[in-house]
Amino acid sequence: MAFSTLLKRYLDTRKSSQGLSYPPGPKALPIIGNLLDIPKETPWVTYTAWAKQYDDVISVTAFGKVIVVVNSAKAAKEVFERRGTRYMDRPRVPILDLIGWGAILALMPYSEAWPFQTVKTHAFLNQLLSEPEQFREHIKHFVAAIVMSLTYGYDVKAKDDFLCHLLSEPTGLGESLFFRAHP
């Protein structure tokens, strides 16, 4: 029973990893992978030897999990800075989409919208830090800037932007009518 479970897990792992391209590395054993090749003490010595034999970026496996090791500063700069957007992402958690939290900046996966949202959120937070007593004005400006950008492609730069002010005026009118209707 235990053998058949291990065999099924091994076959499932092989099937799911086929088609993916990983960096070169030492030959792995079935099921346990390179577990016996990686020493518990001073593994960096082994990684350095493998880097000389294979490449600066190597991959090893342990029980079906792939471990990618980056062995030099040059390779790290190449992988994480120059090609970083190719590998950058957060784990996918389907429940976040189901409960409506999929668009929260801290939880959303990397996409085309992510850099835009990050820039706008940083600008809003910087305004909030510089003048916390005017948080309502900052929120109005932030919402108006997002609406103008998404609807018209207009990038609101200044805090006192005329078009942004025009957009927030109808909101103020509706707000005042609502509060006057409900004393």
Closest CA to 138 of 149, 152, 125: 125
Closest CA to 75 of 56, 62, 95: 56
Q: Where are the domains of the chain?
A: 2-87, 94-181
Res 182: pLDDT? 60
Res 67: pLDDT? 84
The number of angstroms, rounded, from the C-alpha of 49 to the middle of its chain's C-alpha atoms is 32
Residue 114's Cβ-side half-sphere holds a number of Cα atoms within 13 Å equal to: 13
Res 174: pLDDT? 52
Spell out the residues 6+ positions from residue 146 whose beta carbon is closer than 8 angstroms to its own.
Answer: 120
Res 2: pLDDT? 67
pTM of the shown model:
0.45
pLDDT tens, the chain, 183 aa long: 666 666 666 666 555 555 568 888 888 888 888 888 888 888 888 888 888 989 888 888 888 888 888 888 888 888 777 776 666 667 778 888 888 887 777 777 777 777 878 888 888 899 899 999 988 888 888 888 888 887 888 887 777 777 766 666 665 545 555 555 565
Res 129: pLDDT? 93
